[in-house]
Chains A and B, each alone.
Chain A
Amino acid sequence: AQKVTQAQTEISVVEKEDVTLDCVYETRDTTYYLFWYKQPPSGELVFLIRRNSFDEQNEISGRYSWNFQKSTSSFNFTITASQVVDSAVYFCALRENNAGNMLTFGGGTRLMVKP
């Protein structure tokens, strides 16, 4: 069973629009970690954020914000005032406490920001 679901395979927005990328996860562990990575056209995944299961406080970093809701098993990512440079594939990932260092990735969401 897929443990991380990114239902949006592709999103297209116009520059300056806000956009939210959805991530829903499934785990039986009470301790786990969630991650977001960005993969620009160059191919290299860039780490964006890590969140542990005991910290439900939302996080904001510049134009990026993350909304973690354990009640709905979601960890959504919002880009405010999107820019062309935000165009990339974004991956959500889960690390369960009993999985050691192994990550389970979602299928990814391709974001296209048009000028």
Chain B
Amino acid sequence: DVKVTQSSRYLVKRTGEKVFLECVQDMDHENMFWYRQDPGLGLRLIYFSYDVKMKEKGDIPEGYSVSREKKERFSLILESASTNQTSMYLCASSLSLHEQYFGPGTRLTVT
């Protein structure tokens, strides 16, 4: 079974803090994704990576950056957290052109 894990289920941060969300997958998938989920908006893609050190912007990259130093790990970075980044963050991984497998999500609250 594919296993995608995320470092925290719940996180509370203050405005202006730098926030790191970590995601690890154990199935040697080349593709990894970060989404945010907000009510009524579904999932929106922030960034994705198709290989180590490679990244592509998704639909809503503003205010975020990513890092992929190892194939199994994909980090999402909020350089200076703001209240409008309060959301559920979901990580996923996949083989090329196959279905994506998701982690349990991190609910981030920025106060």
Q: Report which A residues bind B (CB closer than 8 A).
A: 4, 6, 9, 35, 37, 42-47, 50, 91, 93, 95, 100-103, 105-108
Please, how many residues of chain B have a CB less than 8 angstroms from a CB on the other chain?
27
Query: Chain B interface (Cβ within 8 Å of chain A)?
Result: 9, 31, 33, 35, 40-45, 48, 50, 58, 88, 90, 92, 94, 96-97, 99-105, 107
Contact of A101 among B41, B94, B104 (CB under 8 A): B94
The binding surface of chain A is classed by DSSP as loop
Q: B96, A44: Cβ atoms under 8 Å?
A: no
Most buried by B among A4, A6, A102, A106: A102
A9 touching B94 by the CB < 8 A rule? no
Find chain B residues with CB under 8 A from A42 CB.
104
Chain A residues within an 8 Å CB radius of B44 = 105
